[in-house]
């Protein structure tokens, strides 16, 4: 009974938080054509976001980014004549895990994060695991927690803000956007922001040598900005990646 009540309340709040905030104006955008020429399978598309829930996520993470989508390329067969096919997999607030076209984010500030050195076999495993998640539901208990932090200056100490994103149900059949993507990369042991432990590892020719041991962070603690600041993901900008010459610009 209590679980059903949380579900009803969560869906009501989700509908409210999914509404766009007035006055959103991105400083920079990339056209779907630019992104399509630049993106590679397993790239992550970070989105600034203009919805009410974006306000809470950006506040809690102290970041520009409020949403993350996963590029699957042409993994899903669609209409060959479709000029904007579904190529992004994401955890949507109302529809759950689904696929959407690049045009969905044509009018948003975005950033592409690319995993460096990912092997082809691991790339295929990640995409296969991603496709298997389609149809799962968004973690609405997480939404209830986020809704409490829409005040202009909520009294939450900085050191606690990240934990506010980890208060969802944690059920394996539910997800939030960054949690879903973190689980995909952790399934092949690809690092995002691991906790690093240094241990002594002396050798005959080096008494002071140390060894770094990586510890996986729990997937529920990941936020969209973590892919931006990760030392293992490359930032790729479509305007530069597709060829840029400032001499070709036309100024007023």
Question: Please, are residues 26 and 108 in contact by the beta-carbon 8 Å criterion?
Answer: yes
Average per-residue pLDDT for the chain? 77
Beta strand 174-175 with 137-138 is parallel
26 backbone dihedrals φ, ψ, rounded to 5°: -70, 145
pLDDT digits (tens, 9 = 90+) for 227-243: 999 999 999 988 886 67
Question: pLDDT of 7-28, one tens digit each?
Answer: 666 666 666 666 666 666 777 7
Q: How confident is the model at residue 144 (pLDDT cuts 50, 70, 90)?
A: low
The pairing of beta strand 110-115 with beta strand 96-101: unpaired
The CATH code of the domain that includes 15 is 3.90.1720.10
Where does the pLDDT of residue 151 fall: very low under 50, low under 70, confident under 90, or very high at 90 and above? very low
Task: Say yes or no to pLDDT of 142 above 70.
Answer: no
CA nearest to 116, candidates 49, 40, 169:
40
CA-CA-CA-CA torsion sign (219, 225, 227, 231): negative
Would you give the end-to-end CA distance of the chain in angstroms? 64
Arithmetic mean of pLDDT, 101-116: 92
The domain total for the chain is 1
Asked if residue 172 has pLDDT above 50, the reply is no
The answer to whether the beta carbons of residues 109 and 28 sit under 8 Å apart is yes
DSSP string, the chain: -HHHHHHHHHHHHHHHHTSBPTT---S----HHHHHHH--TT-EEEE---BHHHHHHHHHHTSS--EEEEE-TT-S---TT-SS-EEEEEEETTTEEEEEEGGGGTTS-EEEEEETT--HHHHHHHHHHHHHTTTPEE-HHHHHHHHTT-SSS----HHHHGGGGG-S---TTEE-HHHHHHHHHHTTT--SSPEEEEEE--BTTBTT-EEEEEEPPPGGG--THHHHH-TTEEEE-HHHHT---GGG----
Mean of pLDDT values over 118-124: 97
Per-residue pLDDT tens for 201-226?
Answer: 677 777 667 564 544 565 566 788 88
Instruction: Using the predicted structure, report yes or no on whether residue 156 has a pLDDT greater than 60.
Output: no
**pLDDT class of 64 with cuts at 50, 70, 90:** confident
Does residue 195 or residue 43 have the better pLDDT?
A: 43
Q: For residue 132, give the nearest of 178, 70, 83 by alpha carbon.
A: 70
Question: Which residues, including other chains, have CB under 8 Å from residue 231's CB and lie 6 or more apart?
Answer: none
Tell me the C-alpha distance between 48 and 82, whole Å. 26
Q: Residue 72 is part of which domain span?
A: 2-248
**Chain position carrying tokens 């007035």:** 22
């Amino acid at each position: 009974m209590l679980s059903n009540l949380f579900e009803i309340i969560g869906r009501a709040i989700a509908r409210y938080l999914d509404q766009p905030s007035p006055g959103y104006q991105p400083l920079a955008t990339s056209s779907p054509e630019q992104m399509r020429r630049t993106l590679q399978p397993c790239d992550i598309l970070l989105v600034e976001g203009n919805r009410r829930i974006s306000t809470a996520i950006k506040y809690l993470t102290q970041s520009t980014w409020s949403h993350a989508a996963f590029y699957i390329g042409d993994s899903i067969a669609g209409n060959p004549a479709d000029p904007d096919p579904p190529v992004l997999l994401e955890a949507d607030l109302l529809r759950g895990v689904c696929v959407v076209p690049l045009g969905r984010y044509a009018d948003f500030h975005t950033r592409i994060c690319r995993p460096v050195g990912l092997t082809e076999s691991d790339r295929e495993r990640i995409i296969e695991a991603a496709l298997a998640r389609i149809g799962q539901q968004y973690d609405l208990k997480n939404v209830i927690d986020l809704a409490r932090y829409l005040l202009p200056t909520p009294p939450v100490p900085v050191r606690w803000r990240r934990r506010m994103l980890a208060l969802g149900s944690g059920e394996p059949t539910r997800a939030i956007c960054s949690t879903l993507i973190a689980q995909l990369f952790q399934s092949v042991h690809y690092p995002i922001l691991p906790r690093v432990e240094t241990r002594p590892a002396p050798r005959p020719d080096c008494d002071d040598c140390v060894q770094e041991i990586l510890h996986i962070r729990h997937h529920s603690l990941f936020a969209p900005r973590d892919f931006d600041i990760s030392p293992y993901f490359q930032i790729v900008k479509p305007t530069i990646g597709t060829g840029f010459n400032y001499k070709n610009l036309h100024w007023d």
